């Protein structure tokens, strides 16, 4: 089976790539509009929804707290509360963009480095313990209370504007002996007109404060962004250190297990040939021929080791061509493998090297351990988020996972390498298969 590559991949030499951007994306949080039909409609809709929606997350939180002794009820209610508030935070950003035209950046979110159920549970804990989560919750309730208050005030003023003149007229025509008192009719009409104007002013101008609440609580705070950046850099540095150590141990192991024995055999064969040159020339010639074969095999082994350090084809012709070479080796080893690549441009060296090693190591595991009948590699650059998505799939038996075992350094090394590039790495491999290895890498702009 042949590899399928993208026709628009670029293979010419590249200029030096800019470094990846540091920190959260720039935030354009200045409102483009705070007056108009859309902001006013958003205010009124928020006030109407607050009458019901205000109690939904609050009820979930109360149920979770009151269910602490039962543990299961606490966990279920807490899990639903977290998911609801995460969805609310997303919807609030969409609403702010649609209503006020504000490009509010998404706050940095810490990602779990675990996989499977442990990764899911750890991610929930990271979310609920983050300032980002509670800041979004505070924004939601503050905006809801404000919208409900402004809507209720406007409704109360309109109610007064319609009822005050009618009450003044009715009481003015009632029996004086009944003892009913109200505003004089002219005063009631004047106040009614003022109430209508005030209600209109509330509906028209109140969204300006709504936009300020969004700007205050929705964007990531400078402190939170800085803390996240420090944590991400520390994690990347730790990943780089451990990745370098793992790579050094791999090179040492490969040299010790492959190249060194061949060189030792070569030296012994040449030594035997020297002893036979004067006494048995045909045997000496045979030994020299054997030494020549050993030298060629040693060169092949050495090239394989060097290829694992820095494949020349990657720097010369790009990631598309380098992956095609890796997939071709997988095809030659007996596992039909397809390659789908979408790379409209060259990427930074670090990103291309990381993606190459993810695919190379994953396919090596497939050919050696998976017992697969087919495999596929997908590499796609998402230009909207400027992130590279790498996926390696095989239909063999599963059970692959990232462990700390000294005998299972392949996937752990990939996880460390991807973390060093400030990306995310995951392995999905149930016991019966299939296995899916995914990596997501940030790219320079």
pLDDT in tens, 328-361: 888 888 888 888 888 888 888 788 888 888 888 8
- 177, with CB counted inside 10 A (0-12, 13-18, 19+), is exposed
Q: What is residue 194's predicted lDDT score, i.e. its pLDDT?
A: 92
pLDDT at 15: 40
Instruction: Name 186's Cβ contacts closer than 8 Å, sequence gap at least 6.
Output: none
Q: What pLDDT digit, counting tens, does each position of 270-307 carry?
A: 887 788 777 877 877 787 888 777 777 777 667 656 55
* pLDDT over threshold 80, residue 321: yes
CA distance 240 to 354: 11
Interacting residues of 128 by C-beta distance below 8 A, sequence separation 6+: 78, 82
Contact criterion met (CB below 8 Å) for 39 and 210: yes
Answer for the pair 362, 403: CB distance below 8 angstroms, yes or no.
no
Distance from C-alpha of 37 to C-alpha of 277, rounded to nearest angstrom: 101
The percent of residues in the chain predicted with pLDDT above 70, rounded, is 73
What is the spatial distance between Cα 143 and Cα 356, in angstroms, rounded to a whole number?
47
Summarize the confidence of residues 110-121 as an average pLDDT.
Answer: 76
Tokens matching residue 338: 């397809």
Q: Is 416 exposed, middle or buried (0-12, 13-18, 19+ CB in 10 A)?
A: buried
Segment 367-418, tens digit of pLDDT: 877 788 888 899 988 887 888 899 998 888 777 776 655 544 567 777 777 8
3-state secondary structure of 107: coil
| Burial (CB count <10 Å: 0-12, 13-18, 19+), residue 407 | exposed
Report the pLDDT averaged over residues 28-33.
57
Task: Please say if the pLDDT value at position 1 is more than 50.
Answer: no
Rounded to the nearest 5 percent, the helix, strand and coil shares of the chain are 65, 10, 25
Q: Which residues pair with 338 in a beta bridge?
A: 376
Which phi and psi (to 5°) does residue 33 adopt? -155, 135
Please choose, from the candidates 338, 357, 331, 440, the residue with its C-alpha nearest in 3D space to the C-alpha of residue 6. Answer: 338
The first and second tokens of residue 318, run together, are 């790009």
User: According to the model, what pLDDT value does residue 311 have?
Assistant: 64
* Average pLDDT of the segment spanning 46-75: 77
In terms of pLDDT, which residue wins out, 179 or 336? Answer: 336
Domain 318-445: top CATH class: alpha beta
Q: Which of 59-73, 136-150, 222-236, 366-380 has the lowest mean pLDDT?
A: 222-236
Q: How do the domains of the chain map onto residue ranges? A: 37-220, 237-309, 318-445
Q: How far apart are CA 249 and CA 253, in angstroms?
A: 6
State the pLDDT confidence band at 30, using cuts at 50, 70 and 90.
Answer: low
Residue 219 has pLDDT above 80, yes or no: no
d(CA 381, CA 387): 6
Supply the pLDDT for residue 197: 93
Averaged pLDDT, 62-71? 75
CB 133 within 8 A of CB 108: no
pLDDT of residue 17: 39
Query: Partners of 339 in the beta sheet?
Result: 377
Length of the chain: 445
| Residue 302, φ and ψ in degrees, nearest 5 | -65, -40
Instruction: Give first-to-last CA distance, the chain, whole Å.
Output: 35
pLDDT of residue 3: 40
pTM over 0.75: no
Q: What is the 3-state secondary structure (H, E, C) of 43-69?
A: HHHHHHHHHHHCHHHHHHHHHHHHCHH
Percent of the chain at pLDDT exceeding 90: 2
18-32, 63-77, 111-125, 130-144: which range is least confident on average?
18-32
Q: What is the sign of the dihedral through the CA atoms of 63, 83, 121 and 434?
A: positive
Mean predicted lDDT score pLDDT of the chain: 74
Looking at residue 11, its pLDDT comes to 36
Residue 314 is predicted with a pLDDT of 73
């Amino acid at each position: 089976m042949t590899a399928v590559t993208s026709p628009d991949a670029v293979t010419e030499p590249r200029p030096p790539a800019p470094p990846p951007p540091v920190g959260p994306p720039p935030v354009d949080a200045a409102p483009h509009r705070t007056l108009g039909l859309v902001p006013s409609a958003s205010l009124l809709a928020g006030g109407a929804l607050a009458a019901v929606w205000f109690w939904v997350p609050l009820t979930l939180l109360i149920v979770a707290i009151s269910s602490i002794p039962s543990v299961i009820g606490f966990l279920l209610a807490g899990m639903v509360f977290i998911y609801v508030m995460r969805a609310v935070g997303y919807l609030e950003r969409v609403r702010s963009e649609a209503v006020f035209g504000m490009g509010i950046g998404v706050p940095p979110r810490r990602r779990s480095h675990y996989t499977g159920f442990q990764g899911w549970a750890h991610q929930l804990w990271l979310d609920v313990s983050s300032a980002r989560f509670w800041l979004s919750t505070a924004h939601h309730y503050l905006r809801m209370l404000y919208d409900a208050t402004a809507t209720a005030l406007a409704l109360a003023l309109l109610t007064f504007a319609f009822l005050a003149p009618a009450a003044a007229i009715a009481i003015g025509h009632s029996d004086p002996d009944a003892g009913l008192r109200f505003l004089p009719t002219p005063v009631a009409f004047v106040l009614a007109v003022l109430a209508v104007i005030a209600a209109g002013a509330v509906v028209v101008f109140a969204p300006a404060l709504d936009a300020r609440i969004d700007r205050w609580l929705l964007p990531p705070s400078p402190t939170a962004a800085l803390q996240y950046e420090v944590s991400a850099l520390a994690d990347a540095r730790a990943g780089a250190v451990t990745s370098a150590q793992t790579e050094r141990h791999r090179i040492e192991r490969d040299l010790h297990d492959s190249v060194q024995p061949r060189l030792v055999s070569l030296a012994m064969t040449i030594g035997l040939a020297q002893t036979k040159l004067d006494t048995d020339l045909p045997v000496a010639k045979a030994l020299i021929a054997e030494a020549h074969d050993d030298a060629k095999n040693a060169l092949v082994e050495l090239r394989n080791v060097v290829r694992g350090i820095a494949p020349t084809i990657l720097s010369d012709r790009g990631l598309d061509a380098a992956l095609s070479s890796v997939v071709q080796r997988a095809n030659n080893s007996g596992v039909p493998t397809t390659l789908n690549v979408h790379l409209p441009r060259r990427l930074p060296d670090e990103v291309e090297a990381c993606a190459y090693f993810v695919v190379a190591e994953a396919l090596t595991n497939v050919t050696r351990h998976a017992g697969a009948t087919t495999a596929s590699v997908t590499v796609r650059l998402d230009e909207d988020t400027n992130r590279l998505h790498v996926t390696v799939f095989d239909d063999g038996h599963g059970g692959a996972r990232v462990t700390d075992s000294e005998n299972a350094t392949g996937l752990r090394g990939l996880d460390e390498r991807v973390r060093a590039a400030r990306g995310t790495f995951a392995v999905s491999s149930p016991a019966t298969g299939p296995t899916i290895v995914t990596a997501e890498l940030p790219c320079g702009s």
